[in-house]
A = this chain, B = another copy of it.
Amino acid sequence: MSQKYVYLFNEGNAGMKNLLGGKGANLAEMTGLGLPVPYGFTVSTEACTRYYEDGETIADEIVEQIKAALAVAEEKAGKKFGSTENPFLVSVRSGARASMPGMMDTILNLGLNDETVKALAKLTGNERFAYDSYRRFIQMFSDVVMEVEKANFDKIFDGAKEKYGCEMDTDLTAEHLKEIVEAYKAMFKSEKGFDFPQDPMTQLIEAVKAVFRSWDNPRAIVYRRMNDIPASWGTAVNVQSMVFGNMGDDSGTGVAFTRNPATGEKALFGEYLMNAQGEDVVAGIRTPETIDHLRDTNEAVYNEFVRIADILEKHYRDMQDMEFTIEKGKLYMLQTRSGKRTAAAALQIAVDLVNEGMRTKDEAIQMIDPKSLDALLHPTFDPVALKAAKPVATGLAASPGAACGIVYFSADEAKAAHEAGSQVILARKETSPEDIEGMTASQGILTAFGGMTSHAAVVARQLGTCCVSGCKEAQINEEAKTITFSDGTVLHEGDWISLDGTTGKVYAEAIKTVDAELSGNFATIMEWADSFRTLKVRTNADSPSQAAMAVKFGAEGIGLCRTEHMFFDEARIPAMRQMIVSKNADERKAALAKILPMQRDDFKGIYKAMEGRPVTIRFLDPPLHEFLPTKEEDIRELAGNMNLSYEELKATIDGLHESNPMMGHRGCRLSITYPEIAEMQTRAVIEAAIEVRQETGLEIVPEIMIPLVGDVKELAYVKGFVVETAKKVMQERGMVIPYMVGTMIEIPRAALTADEVATEAEFFSFGTNDLTQMTFGFSRDDAGKFLPDYYAKKIFESDPFARVDQLGVGKLMQIAVELGKKTRPNIKLGICGEHGGDPSSVEFCHRIGLNYVSCSPFRVPIARLAAAQAALSNK
């Protein structure tokens, strides 16, 4: 027997989403509930997959099943496809498992042709309605199925309105519309070279194929990638008896939510338009009425709708987003689904549903998309102020939040203005590590160059600062201190500017911002989440202020404190540079001695901010050349400051040049060459812990993390210096404190030999950024050039730097967990790559048995919620 590809509405239910798509499954469910749903059938997602397997053709057996289902629907409707007496008309709608903008949406009135339109006119006694339906069908079908440009139709339609002096579409008469239909068909023929298809079955099959095709159009691919939807899912197609909202003033169509999708308020929320079909509501030509207006004008229909809405919300136990049509005073439901909502509404609804007894806490927790929380954690523009503002440019939404301030063009000036009390925005062509202080001092950062992983973007996300990067429409002149926008607007130093890092929009004016609200529903949901999760959530933080912010967001420790970020500070980089140009260990030690007190103070500040929570400190990681200038004039200046000849310094810098710095002299390799560095850093870590203990009584257990280990002997060698130095410091200070030594697992070989590494490492922290680079063999800095091709050609469907590649990188992680535990059953396991804040990666980390995830401060709440969901879904 051949496979079943087509399901009548009474053959399905809400549980069959994978097969019938969301829309189809819910139409079937509503049918089962006895609600007024126009009858029809669903062509399954498997038919879509089959379509692609068959080289984008539709198999005969599927066509046969469609015909059979259509016959049932005709029977039920008492109408017949193509009948010149009582013609059967249908709508065709796509419906994937997950709602997907970008795909073909809807074709209405399918089945109309030159003959059936006459029958429809006769049958309804409404010729105007019949031809209006026909012209709509011709336009929609031509546009989405036949790829005739919509503008061609608009031109004819608008021409006719002008010719007959009609202001509103509804002013056009039946005769006008007949003329338009003829003009449409003539244009269609001249565009396509053949007549507009008259055979209803041809229309239907072509429409089904168009839906399948639209699964793979570029916008759909982009959307899938952004939302982790695999290409293999496919879409279903729903074919449904037409009901008409445009049959006169007793007909209409609308959409409504059972609760307010913006705020979560419990009240019906929606709008409708009388004498209209679906597309009129969104087209915006006529202004729809609010759903409340229906109560006043047609109470019976309104009450019926309220009753159905209530049934649906109780049935689905979630806020519903419904589409309906009124045909000659009779209400039909065309769709229901869980409604999309803002993050704030999501929290409100989740809390309300629990309070109303409709959902348990664990169910409520699983209803919230963790990623959506991000929007709640950053300042936003005051909605009223925003409404009045007009963006002058759009860049990449590199780090979320809204910011407003006075623009400066150098890190130093931004810092000075900030210290003088100004709100500051830093605008740079692109940022570099030397800009770190200016970036910290700014409300927001704008760059003209660089992508989502540029220095500005990465640091801004780490700082939780708003950032718009790679804004090509902004020409930034750092010398002249101006920004010239593509629209001609010019800003000078001292002018106000506003940035929206969530949308990438740039405003050449001051817009009031509103701070994030972390109490109320947010606090309630976080409390529930914490009660379910078993995975700890730490943060990546390099400064006391970041640490304090992360604690506010619920961080339970620091999983990654990068010590090198501390050295780009203007006051410190000279000592670092002196260390690098040292000719021997003694000179190096002298330079390091200058860095020691600064580093110790950093650690003290961080320990205090963390109030006794664990702190993992990663030792110096980047290649040394990152601390040295590259431009000739900067090298000359530095040489002067350091009492070196230009040639000497240039030779040192050239000597540090690397072909592949990613895989060069960095991480623990630095401490193997220069153990003095590890000694100094150990001293700073331990002295700081002892002093904080003495000053505050806080019991600090520092976790020293040696980066880039690929062989246990590397770790053993560096650990030797760490242990020896720690012992010495504790003797000097007369106080013994506990501490741990562990390693990042970021090199494939460390994962493969984790049983050996664990003989020395007391903890592993997966550095999945580098681990991903090396497992895939591509450099994040360079992959931007070819990954777009990978997405376009469906080789990759998600960004492995955003979401753990469970098949490859994840396998290495599992190997490391297994081998590490074999050697040291209680080894502490965490992750500190950027994946630590990605929900699907958090779920993976939970599943393979990590103890904690660590992420940037602003992702801590996301990780807390994701960890709770992971615990619940793996119960």
Contact = CB atoms under 8 A, between A and B. Distances in A.
Nearest to A790: B672
A711 B779 CA distance: 16
Interface in A796-825: 796, 805, 807-809, 811-812
Contacts of A790: 672
A659 B626 CA distance: 13
A748 B753 CA distance: 14
A753 B808 contact: yes
B747 A782 contact: no
B665 A663 contact: no
A444 B770 CA distance: 42
A430 to B, nearest CB: 14
A748 B812 contact: yes
Contacts of A661: 659-660, 782
A194 interface: no
A662 interface: yes
Contacts of A673: 786, 789
B711 A777 contact: no
Nearest to A746: B777
B663 A795 contact: no
A665 to B, nearest CB: 5
Nearest to A747: B777
A713 B795 CA distance: 5
A164 interface: no
Nearest to A716: B795
Contacts of A776: 710, 747, 749
Contacts of A809: 749
A665 B782 contact: yes
A773 B747 CA distance: 10
A669 B774 contact: no
B774 A713 contact: no
B672 A781 contact: no
A573 to B, nearest CB: 22
A795 B714 contact: yes
Contact of A664 (B658, B748, B778, B805): B778
A121 B710 CA distance: 62
Contacts of A203: none
Contacts of A808: 710-711, 748-749, 752-753
A793 B672 contact: yes
A666 to B, nearest CB: 9
A422 interface: no
Contacts of A781: 658-660
Interface in A467-500: none
A286 to B, nearest CB: 46
A708 interface: yes
Given A775-B749, A777-B774, A713 B794 contact: yes
Interface in A172-212: none
With a 10 A CB-CB cut-off, give which of A664, A756, A777, A786 has the most chain B CB atoms. Answer: A777
Given A659-B779, A790-B672, A795 B747 contact: no
Contacts of A223: none
Interface in A708-749: 708, 710-711, 713-714, 717, 746-749
Interface string A665-693: 10001001100000000000000000000
A307 interface: no
Nearest to A659: B781
A785 interface: yes
B752 A663 contact: no
Nearest to A713: B795
Contacts of A811: 752-753
Contacts of A756: 807
A717 to B, nearest CB: 6
A43 B808 CA distance: 51
Contacts of A789: 672-673
A796 B778 CA distance: 26
A725 B665 CA distance: 44
A659 B660 CA distance: 7
A258 B711 CA distance: 45
A711 B672 contact: no
Interface string A633-651: 0000000000000000000
Interface string A74-96: 00000000000000000000000
A658 to B, nearest CB: 4
A844 to B, nearest CB: 15
A170 B660 CA distance: 63
Contacts of A711: 795-796, 808
A72 to B, nearest CB: 41
B774 A807 contact: no
Contacts of A672: 786, 789-790, 793, 795
B770 A777 contact: yes
B795 A664 contact: no
Contacts of A796: 711, 713
A775 B710 CA distance: 8
A790 B669 CA distance: 9
A673 B785 CA distance: 10
A369 to B, nearest CB: 28
B713 A665 contact: no
Nearest to A797: B713
A811 B818 CA distance: 15
Contacts of A786: 665, 669, 672-673
A432 to B, nearest CB: 14
A669 B808 CA distance: 18
A601 B664 CA distance: 40
A718 to B, nearest CB: 10
A779 B660 contact: yes
A1 to B, nearest CB: 29
A658, A659, A748, A793 — most chain B CB neighbours (10 Å): A748
Contacts of A782: 658-661, 663-665
Contacts of A778: 663-664, 669, 710
Nearest to A808: B749
Contacts of A749: 775-777, 805, 808-809
26 contacts: A658-B785, A660-B779, A660-B782, A662-B662, A662-B779, A663-B777, A663-B778, A664-B779, A664-B785, A672-B789, A672-B793, A672-B795, A708-B777, A710-B808, A711-B795, A711-B808, A713-B796, A747-B777, A748-B748, A749-B776, A749-B808, A749-B809, A752-B807, A753-B807, A770-B777, A774-B777
Given A659-B662, A664-B779, 15 more contacts: A658-B785, A659-B661, A660-B781, A662-B662, A663-B779, A664-B782, A669-B778, A672-B795, A710-B777, A711-B795, A746-B777, A747-B777, A748-B774, A749-B775, A749-B805
The 3 closest A-B pairs by CB, nearest first: A660-B779, A749-B808, A663-B779
Interface of A: 658-665, 669, 672-673, 708, 710-711, 713-714, 717, 746-749, 752-753, 756, 770, 773-779, 781-783, 785-786, 789-790, 793-796, 805, 807-809, 811-812
